[in-house]
Every structure is written in structure tokens, then in C-alpha cells.
Structure 1
């Protein structure tokens, strides 16, 4: 196990970065406000980010009026193709059935056979007729598979490279959800993409760091078996010799579908080095740490985060984790709260290690069902920037959560925010970390190595929001960081600069910073 001294040294490295940035800010040479920054942005005093789970835009908002929805999808994206590139005559079945284990009544695999080759509604009264409260089975949502499904922007291999067959192209009529009504009242962004390809672990890192975590010398460490085996294109997993040739015959198999890239970046789920973690402490180690000998324990990270930059400018901020303290005190339980350790991205960073002042100040308990977060809202005591992560059973993730409970919870949080003493100068962003392996028809912008990935819903809520507006401006998860950076005049995270450079090389403009959804005038 890493000693406290090692962790302290790692913390010093981020401190050194902070000192350098502080010096730059004082000198005025590099930490200048983003060009185009306006005094109008200072009308926003409080920023709140609510991060739900695993829904593509088309999956929930594909029939939203005025949006680029399923009806506008080209035939080439609506028709799914097999691994050999040929269109399916019919969709493969949903392997293991449509509903999660234990859901009654179940929708079996046999009941999902012979579906036509196009997207279908899981809640269609003439079809499966499922309610929003149904928990479906989970789907692959992994770094390489997401790129293989996107297939160069054609979005026609979601079924081919899934472990769930036809479920990848399932849809819901979201018009009866509570958040649909919030989107109608404020702004729905219909050109908003997940920051990185793949799953929740990676996209939470993009929310706080705009970076790919790194495992040094992974080939000589416990994580070696988790290094992916990738074709020379750097995008495609090498198939196993016994992989079914067709998705009609089964789930694809790969020579090495690992959590790390061949050059040791962590792109699929790794566990935090600190508790709470999916990996328990080492037998005789520090109980506040995860066992570093486990192949899925990620070493402490030292890249600067948006939190570090906010602290350097003395901007108050916090990450509110739903059920955080309850899990620390009593351990995790299912189905409630079903805490997801890899949804707490700052718990991977040395600057927030156990015992540090930054951890005590900024990693806060959201409470069971968000009660502590809501108390802060009602009392008007939110910091200037807040991130809120609902606990597992309230985050809408396929496999262990339904749409209805999470949607109602987030809508209730919005209702509290609208009544908060801080509301008159507040900006709220509600989005999803990633698509959960679910199909969307819009091609992501061509960015850098890491993303953007598939399109996801994003709702901007504010007294300054354009009311009843669908925002078509191209954005992704980093757009949230861009707004925070611009509003509080912070240095730009390196990953955002890399993405902008990559897009400029393709003659594309930088992704937006949310301001297209706002009318910034003093009220």
C-alpha cells in the first residue's frame, strides 16, 4: 500500500501546479479571462451541475418538439448493420431478456425475437408496454465499443457491438416525465455530447478534469491483465478467435477488452484509491485506502481538476455525493442507496486524499435521497459552484435504476432550486454522464482521441435561460467547464485546449460554453 508520505508527495505535485498558476494569475501573463468574457456573466453567482446516468438523447428526448429527434434520423442511421457491414434482416434478440433480473413480470429473451430492424419504443402500448418504473437490463457502455458503435459517425453498429442485442436501439416516449416539463419551460440542448467515449468512470473524469486518468507502468503492475488489445487504428478492439461472426449468433468476444489503453490510460471502470471504493483496504493497510494490489485500483491522480482551479481563485465549491456519508459509516446496500464508487471522480485525486483539508472542505455528503444537498439549497447556503451526484437508485442507470424514480428526484431538486434564496442569480445544468450504450442518430463532432462521444440530453435551467428554447449549439460535457472557467476567469484545463486544437485542425469551431442558452441581462 502507498504510504501516507507518498500520498503527501502526490499532493505536493498538485500544490506546485497551483503555485505556478497563482503566480501566472498575479503576473497577468497566462491566467487572463477567456476572450469575450463579459460583465454580464457576473449576473450568475451560483452554478449547479446535476449529473444523472446513462441515457442517449434519442432514448428519452427523441420526440421532443423542435429538437433534432428520431423523426429526423437518416435511414442510414436507423438501419443497424452486422459486424460484416450488411444490414440485419431483423434485430437480434435482447440477450437474457429486456428486463433486469428480478423484475416481475419479466420480458424474456424469446419475447424479443424477430423485431424489425429499426428503433423501437419500450413503452409502446402495442409493443412491450413498459412503464417508466421498469428496470431494464444493463448494456455495454465502454470506451472502444462506443467508438465501434458510432462507426465513423454513421451510428449503425450499436447492435453489432453490444452485449444486449436489440436493446441498444430502444427508445422511451419521455413526454410524461417530470424533466420533460422542465425542459419545455427552460432550455433543452439537442446538440450536446458526452465528453469522452465510453462509460461513467471516464465521463466523470471529463466532468472534473477533462482528462484521461493514467496508470504509470501498468505493464509491470497488478493492472497488466487489464490492458486492452487494440487493432492498429487505435479505435477497434481485436476480436477473439472464437467471437461469433454475426450479432445474430451472440455477443462479440475480444482478445483483450481491458480497462486500460495500450499506453496505460484508464478508459473503463477503475476503482478509487481511497474509501469509499469498490476495493476494500489491504489486510494490514490504511483503512482509508483501497488495496493497491487489486488490478482495478487506480493509483492517485495528480492532474489539476476544475476544483483545484476554483480553489486557486478562492471560488467556493463542493461535490455533493448522494449517500456519501451513509456509505462511509455503514457500508453500501442494494437496492438502496446502491452507491456507485466510480461516480465520485474527485476521490481519485491525491489533492483530495483522506486527511487533506481539501477533502474535508469540498467532498460533501449529499445525504440519503439528497436530503443534505436539499437542506443547503433551501437555506441558501450552496457554494458558488456545486456538483450533485444522485445515489445509485435515483440516477436512471439501466440495470439497477429506473427512469421514473431518478427523473422525479431531479425534478424535485429543481423545484427546491427555483425556491432557493440563491435562485435569482443561478444557473443549473442537468445532464447525463454518457449514453449507457443506447443508440443516438447524430454523429458526434470529430474531436480528439478521447471524444466527444454519443449525444446525451442536457437541460439548462436559470432565470436567465431562454424560455421554451431548443438550443442547437454544438456542446459537450466540457461546455460546463468552459462556462465555469469563463464566469470565474480561471485558467483553461489542458484537455479543453487539446480538444479545441484538434477541432480547429479539422476546421471546426470550439464547442460552446452554455451561453447560447442564456439571455444575460440584469433583471
Structure 2
């Protein structure tokens, strides 16, 4: 069989007869990968969705002793705290009130248990704390035993789903390809910071923040640099109320931005200044982050002549709304479709991608409503060599404003298009979540640097080159995506990647993997 015929052989047939895409009878190498696609969903821990996955380090490895939660004074909680304000929101059926969640056993529980709350994957539950310092306080040095103590959602932190291939489309895809069960979020805390770590392995900085509109956002942190200072009136027990802090702000005491701040450019969650440039967010707003200048992965790809783009669902809609001053899809007002999230657009914080630049026009692209524009590029075989896709808010699986089911189905549909794409034969797709969303996970993150890694999250590697039906136990985090891109395209190493590995090794651990262990390639 000649090479041309091999390259056009349907993948299932090629695999059955031992052929590799466009590789004759020789095993593929890393250079066979021509396209990398990163799909970035929201706010789920590994145990929350994949705790029952066969062969994975899941809930079967959890005991009463390793899962029990402590109160704020270090004593064992007799029960989980109630889910403050209820498990579901007003107008959601079934309504699970706070009172109905009282006296839950101090243990993980299935949110969708028919004998329990019976809240399916297509039901929106309430949101949970997912913030920089709170996440570290919950992890508690790797014991993961203070999630309930330092939460605003009480016992909900211990909730998970009994997901399987019949309920969760991505679960079926994970069974077919590679599921990574030792993959951690790159930074402690929430979406804002973890999106930054996805693109630059760096934490944004607000120079002279103490003399800026953001002065009130500097967190009050104890001498350990990890825990927040409690307010004098904070409830001593997690059973009586949520914790209150002297100041859990967006900035560290040395002015790094670790919790949600808004892009300096539109579309932003902050409106333009009155009479100011309509393309900018009001710099006088305390939550507007100044433009960032750190080197990011797009800079490295540009320098190497590698094509790339960030496709954002509903980006075009949000840009148009901002330009026409009808930005009800942003500025925090819209909680329905498409629910565009400005702080999920990490490259919109960088000066070299400011409005009016050629860089922005080429690389910050509209993914379309429901991913329609991104899917058009997939179907046409027109994706750049590196493509990031961020689903719009109602399709990203974030608790509090959407459910798991519709986002999971959307991503599975995108995968179906990718599998039919003319570019599929040489593609690697990485599906992961930005962070844990405040949900407990039983695996201790490896001890790294000041910024992370944080809690364990799911990651699925889908590719003709992916090991089939494989659970990959290699240690990874969000930065492993950057490592893979760097390795494949022979790019310089971003400073944050080197610093992370040095810290991991200095703390007695090992450097992060670059995802190649998930692939069946000659290395």
C-alpha cells in the first residue's frame, strides 16, 4: 500500500491493520502532529465527574479516614455543614433547600443519587468558592480535609456525580482514548488565574496597586503567605456559618492579581470610562487590570512562524455589544445564553493584543454562537497549527450558571466534527477544565511554587495518536499543555515552566510531564 492510500484510509480501518496516519508502516513521531487543539471547560474536579472511571485513581481509593472533613479548629466535623442557601437556585426544579441538606454524613456523596437529592447532570447547582487563598486553605497542605471548613457552599464541596458513558458523552470519549487521572490545575484558585497560566504560565501583576484604584483589593494574608486573616466576627465553626475574612481581595500583598479582575480592553466586565475610549475598560474601576506585558505562548508561536488562534464562543456577539453599547451579554448582567465571560479570555489582557493591532485581528477570533464559527473552520480543514477553543458561558459546565450535561454534549459534538475534519489524521486534542470549581478531590497536589499546582481536574487526550482505552497516571498540570506545544514546535521555554519544575524538584517531587506519555509515538 502506498503512502497516499494510507493517508486516505479511514482511521478505524487504518488502526485495525496497524497503520499510522500518513506514516506508512513506520510508527508516527512527534513531528507527525500537525495540529494541536485545546478545549478549555470550567470548574470540575476529577472526583466530581470521573471518580467512578474504571482504572483511574478514583473514589474506590477513598476511605472514611482520608475523606473526612475538619472544622476550622481542626476537630472532625460530626456532619457536613448544610449547603448554605440550598443546593439549587430559585426557579430550578427540583428545589433543594438549605434545610434539606442538613446533617449530611461527613463523607463524599452523590449529588445525583436517586435516594438522595436526585439532581441530574442537566440541573444547575449553586456556585462554590474557587479562589486563590481559599483553595490553598482547603487543600490544607495536601490533606484535602478543610474543603467544607473554608467554603461558602457548606457540604456541597463533597458532592460528585455517578457519571458513566450512558450519562456523560465525554466519559465515552475518555474510554476510547486517554484519560489523565493525575492532572492538576496550574494555579490555585479560580478561572481568571488558571486561564493566565494556560497561556503564559504566569501570574498577572498590578504595579503600584497600593496607590491605585485597586488599593482596597489587596488581600489581608497571614505571615505564612497562604492563609487569609479572619475577621474578628467570623463564625468559629463551619456548622454555623460561612467564614468571613478581613479582606479576601483580588491582589496579593505584593500586588499580583490572583482572583478575578477584568480585561483592560473590550469586551470586558467593566464599561468604558464616561467619555473615554470605547475600546477600553475604565481604568479607574478597581477591578480593571492594567495591560500585561509578560511573554505568552502566542509570542513564541509568532516568533517561530507557527499559526495559532484563540477561538472564543460568542466573542463576536460580545464585541458587537460592546461597540454598540448594548453589552448586556457582558458587564455581569446576562445569566442566560450565551453568558459570555470576559475574564475567560486571557489574551485580552495583553498589550501586544490590544484593539487595533494586527496581532489581535489574526489571533483573537470569534468562535461563534454555540461554537458555530469554530466548527466551520474545523469542517473546512482550516484550523491553525495551534487552536484554543473556549466555549461560551452556558456551554462550559460552570456550576452556578450552567449544568454539566449541555456543556459536555457540546464538547462531544465538537470532537465529532474534529474526527471528521480533513486535519484529523495529524491532530492532538486536549480537553480539560480550568479549575476544580471548589469541588473536593482526594488526591494531594504535588508541592510546587507559590502559585500552584492546585486541585486535580479531568483531562482527556483525543487523537489518532492517543493510546486507546488508556488511563495515564503521569503527573501533569495545566502547564503541561504549554510543555506539549513547546516540545512539538521546538519553542523556547517560558520562564514560568522552568520555575515550576525547579520548585517541584526542590520540594522532593518531579518535573511536570508534557503529555507525550498519552501518545503512542516514537520519541
The TM-score normalised by the length of structure 2 is 0.92
1:146 aligns with 2:135: yes
* Structure 2: distance between partners of 1:122 and 1:403: 12
Cα offset, 1:521, TM superposition: 5.2
Report 1:215-254 matches (<5 A): 215-254=206-245
1:339 aligns with 2:336: no
1:161 aligns with 2:162: no
Cα offset, 1:132, TM superposition: 1.0
Q: In the alignment, which residue of structure 2 is the partner of 1:87? A: 76
Report 1:140-289 matches (<5 A): 140-175=129-164, 176-289=167-280
CA contact (8 A) 2:335 2:401 kept: no
Count matched residues: 485
Structure 2 counterpart SS, 1:248? coil
Deviations 1:2-60 (A, max 9, x none): xxxxxxxxxxxxxxxxxxxxxxxxxxxxxxxxxxxx99211100000000000000000
* Structure 2: distance between partners of 1:292 and 1:261: 19
Report 1:22-101 matches (<5 A): 40-101=29-90
Cα offset, 1:95, TM superposition: 0.3
1:320 aligns with 2:282: no
Cα offset, 1:234, TM superposition: 0.1
* Structure 2: distance between partners of 1:489 and 1:515: 14
Structure 2 counterpart SS, 1:208? helix
Deviations 1:418-476 (A, max 9, x none): 00000000000000000000000000000000000000000000000000000000000
Deviations 1:232-251 (A, max 9, x none): 00000000000000000100
The TM-score normalised by the length of structure 1 is 0.92
Cα offset, 1:508, TM superposition: 2.0
Deviations 1:124-176 (A, max 9, x none): 01101111110000000000000000000000000000000000000001212
Report 1:497-512 matches (<5 A): 497-512=498-513
* Structure 2: distance between partners of 1:320 and 1:125: 39
CA contact (8 A) 2:82 2:101 kept: yes
1:114 aligns with 2:103: yes
Report 1:8-19 matches (<5 A): none
CA contact (8 A) 1:101 1:137 kept: no
Q: In the alignment, which residue of structure 2 is the partner of 1:12? A: none
Q: In the alignment, which residue of structure 1 is the partner of 2:12? A: none
Unaligned runs of 5+ in 2: 1-26, 322-326
Q: In the alignment, which residue of structure 1 is the partner of 2:5? A: none
CA contact (8 A) 1:58 1:171 kept: yes
Structure 1 counterpart SS, 2:248? coil
1:349 aligns with 2:350: yes
Q: In the alignment, which residue of structure 2 is the partner of 1:492? A: 493
Which deviates more from structure 2 when the two are superposed, residues 96-105 or residues 172-181?
96-105
* Structure 2: distance between partners of 1:294 and 1:277: 12
Structure 2 counterpart SS, 1:319? strand
Structure 2 counterpart SS, 1:247? coil
CA contact (8 A) 2:220 2:229 kept: yes
CA contact (8 A) 1:76 1:156 kept: no
Q: In the alignment, which residue of structure 2 is the partner of 1:304? A: 295
Q: In the alignment, which residue of structure 1 is the partner of 2:405? A: 404
Q: In the alignment, which residue of structure 1 is the partner of 2:518? A: 517
Cα offset, 1:278, TM superposition: 0.4
Deviations 1:187-231 (A, max 9, x none): 000000000000000000000010000000000000000000000
Deviations 1:357-411 (A, max 9, x none): 0000000000000000000000000000000000000000000010010000000
* Structure 2: distance between partners of 1:251 and 1:310: 45
1:134 aligns with 2:123: yes
Let me know the Cα RMSD of the aligned residues. 1.1
CA contact (8 A) 2:94 2:119 kept: no
* Structure 2: distance between partners of 1:122 and 1:404: 14
CA contact (8 A) 1:122 1:130 kept: yes
Cα offset, 1:104, TM superposition: 2.2
Q: In the alignment, which residue of structure 2 is the partner of 1:462? A: 463
* Structure 1: distance between partners of 2:54 and 2:377: 35
CA contact (8 A) 1:228 1:259 kept: yes
Cα offset, 1:74, TM superposition: 4.2
Cα offset, 1:506, TM superposition: 2.1
Cα offset, 1:73, TM superposition: 2.1
